[in-house]
Amino acid sequence: MSDSLVIIPTYNEIENIEAIIKAVFALKKDFDVLIVDDNSPDGTADKVEQLQEDFKGRLFLEIRKEKAGLGTAYIHGFKWALKRDYLYIFEMDADFSHRPSDLQRLYRACLNGADVAVGSRYKKGVNVVNWPLYRVLLSYGASFYVKLITGMQIHDPTAGFVCYKRKVLETINLDAIKFIGYAFQIEMKFRAYLKKFKIEEVSIIFTDREKGKSKMSTAIIWEAIFGVFSMKTRSILFKDW
Ligand SMILES: Nc1nc2c(ncn2[C@@H]2O[C@H](COP(=O)(O)OP(=O)(O)O)[C@@H](O)[C@H]2O)c(=O)[nH]1
Ligand SMILES: [Mg+2]
């Protein structure tokens, strides 16, 4: 068993799933992989089951009944990881927006003292390739908004490419997190920040997916806009939040 688990949530990623799994297993460092699939109609989970023959004991699959959002998929994956002995638990998308080789850079940052290593698009300028302008502006604007409301000095709070040390996930009350989209990513970092964990940003290049479709929706954007505000308010009102 590796000391590290990469959790990849999937919904209709048949065009990416095999390549992304193989890319992780081709890395110099050993990582285990957990796919959390929401019963994708395109057969993503069937493909993972086939691949499990080749990667016995390293590739794991959890299938949920229906599409229930990225946030709850990660919570499911975190709890799965905490039942086992993993020390470093990663979040990564299936669509190659996050370069698998950067997993090793996030890992190194955690070995060198970070509790949370964030693959950051905005640490040095704007490192986003092939995204339409409106998505860059939305994402970049969101990071200003989050800084303003929460006071948390992170350049890329909505980032979904992250390494958490085990103790961070053990400390955060995972059952309290109900957000599903970008707000989920913000809340995870905010809770780690309030608990005084050391958050370090590692500069990465984010490239838009070439295959398959984005699951981003206006509901996810609204959740982030209102959610961040209510999250900050709740964190002030309730001591044990
Ligand atoms: N299990 C699960 N995975 C999801 C869900 N929504 C998105 N994902 C996965 O989360 C990752 C990021 O989603 P994506 O559509 O690329 O979002 P974008 O990069 O913000 O456009 C991908 O691996 C998706 O397959 C969901 O409801 N359930
Ligand atoms: Mg994507």
Is there a contact between 105 and 205 (Cβ–Cβ < 8 Å)? Answer: no
Nearest CA to ligand 1 atom 16: 214
With a 6 A CB cut-off, is 135 part of the ligand 1 pocket?
A: no
Contact 79, 98 (CB under 8 A): no
Name the residue at shortest CA distance from atom 12 of ligand 1.
Answer: 93
Ligand 1 pocket: which of 20, 35, 61, 93 to mutate (most atoms within 8 A of CB): 93
**Å from CA of 53 to ligand 1 middle:** 25
Alpha-carbon Rg of the chain, whole angstroms? 17
**Distance, CA 212 to ligand 1 centroid (Å)?**
11
pLDDT-derived band of residue 75, with 50, 70 and 90 as boundaries? very high
In this prediction the pTM is: 0.97
Rounded distance between C-alpha atoms, residue 63 and residue 46, angstroms: 10
Residue-wise pLDDT for 117-153, tens only, equals 999 999 999 999 999 999 999 999 999 999 999 999 9
| Residue 60 lies in domain | 4-237
| CATH at 52 | 3.90.550.10
Nearest CA to 165 among 105, 115, 108? 115
Query: How many domains in the chain?
Result: 1
What are the two backbone dihedrals, phi and then psi, of residue 206, each rounded to the nearest 5 degrees?
Answer: -105, 125
